[in-house]
Amino acid sequence: MTKHTHPIPRAAGPSSAPASARADIDQVIEIFWSEFAQDERYWWWPRAAWTDPNELIVDDDEGSLWRVPFSSNEDQEVTFEEPVRVLQQFVDAPATASAAAFSMHRERPAATYHDRSEAGRKAKKPEGSRASATKSAMDRAEYIASLGLSPDATDAQIAQAAIAAATNDDPPADPPADPPQDPQDPPADPPADPPQDPDPSDPPADPADPPADPPAASGETVTLDRGTYEEMRAGARDGAAARAEQVNERRENLIRAAIEDGRIPPARADHWRELHKADAAGTEDLLGRLEAGVVPVTERGSSSDPVASGNMSSDQFAADMSRLFGPAYAPPANGGQD
């Protein structure tokens, strides 16, 4: 267990916090910034400070909340314990008659903060912070530039350029000229026999005869007519657009599934989209390893009526209520249907 211990000066006069919280809350927050919120926790910031027991509720700026217990001794030294990940829950307010008893469950926090600056974070993170997100954005920009596209190129344009680069759509370069012949090499084969003069008795060729077939493909080149070439280029463009649409659909399905099962909060959807655009395989692997159910997914104000949810018929519900409450229960005249 890692602890961060730091002495602080005694506060002048009596403290408004309970006796167990011997350190002034403002001093605890200062030590939190200087000792605890460093390195990979630099972006963490306290939302609230509680006493009895002493603990901070901290936001990691990535969609999760953490409880950080702390303690202080007679020498006014503050010790931070290991953080524990927590979930925020909302419950119905109690009736007026029991409101006083409910409020005694725990006192209000000793201090609350709405954002990082209000909590006192003044220094800025040095260059290179959040390296993973910056590197992903940089890699995408470099890849787009390597394809010869502008920085605002769409996914379809990127996919089309990538296919063209992979298939070497540009015409091949001219072949190198034949190397000069070594004078010591044996002479080349003598030329073939010169063509014979045509026999006057042979009939002349018919000018209406069709031309000879074009030369067959040889080596690394293929001879095509213009229409076939343009048709192939159009097919490649259509294929690139279809592939880009498939990639976008897959990305949206992955992010929607991660939100629905509580692996990521909806507010972070755009962040995960950018990561997937830069590194699809790595992002899908990371999403697959996230724990489900961490982010609450139930909508506030959702109905728990068994009839409205389809879990029980209105007749069965009326029978159960009559058995529980007897004559005091009167079912709606219309069966509960508006």
Confirm whether 328 is domain-assigned: no
Q: Is 250 helix (H, G, I), strand (E, B) or coil?
A: helix
Whether 103 and 145 map to the same domain: the answer is: no
Confirm whether 121 is domain-assigned: no
Find, among 60, 49, 186, 32, the residue nearest to 121 by Cα: 32
Confirm whether 272 is domain-assigned: yes
More confident residue, 84 or 175: 84
Whether pLDDT at 106 is above 80: no
Q: pLDDT digit string (tens) for 244-299?
A: 999 999 999 999 999 999 999 999 999 999 999 999 999 999 989 998 888 877 65
CB atoms < 10 A from the CB of 109, how many? 17
Centroid of chain to Cα 226: 44
What pLDDT score was predicted for residue 305?
A: 67
Range of the structural domain that residue 238 is part of? 134-162+225-295
Q: pLDDT digit string (tens) for 71-104?
A: 888 877 889 999 999 888 777 876 665 555 545 4
Whether 54 and 145 map to the same domain: the answer is: no
Whether 150 and 291 map to the same domain: the answer is: yes
Confirm whether 27 is domain-assigned: yes
What pLDDT score was predicted for residue 144?
A: 82
What pLDDT score was predicted for residue 271?
A: 94
Cα(110)–Cα(122) distance, rounded to whole angstroms?
22
Whether 29 and 89 map to the same domain: the answer is: yes
Confirm whether 94 is domain-assigned: yes
Confirm whether 181 is domain-assigned: no
State the amino acid at position 253 in one-letter form.
N
More confident residue, 109 or 200: 109
Residue whose tokens read 């159009």: 234
Whether pLDDT at 172 is above 70: no
What pLDDT score was predicted for residue 252?
A: 95
Whether 158 and 61 map to the same domain: the answer is: no
Whether 98 and 17 map to the same domain: the answer is: yes
First CA to last CA across the chain, in angstroms?
A: 59
Per-residue confidence band for 309, with pLDDT thresholds at 50, 70 and 90: low
Domain boundary among 295, 314, 332: 295
Confirm whether 147 is domain-assigned: yes
What pLDDT score was predicted for residue 165?
A: 76
Cα(284)–Cα(132) distance, rounded to whole angstroms?
15
pTM, whole model, 2 decimals?
Answer: 0.33
Whether pLDDT at 8 is above 60: no
Whether 287 and 252 map to the same domain: the answer is: yes
Whether 157 and 267 map to the same domain: the answer is: yes
ω into residue 179 within 30 of 0, thus cis? no
Number of domains in the chain: 2
Whether 31 and 68 map to the same domain: the answer is: yes
Q: Considering just the CA atoms, what is the radius of gyration of the chain in Å? A: 38
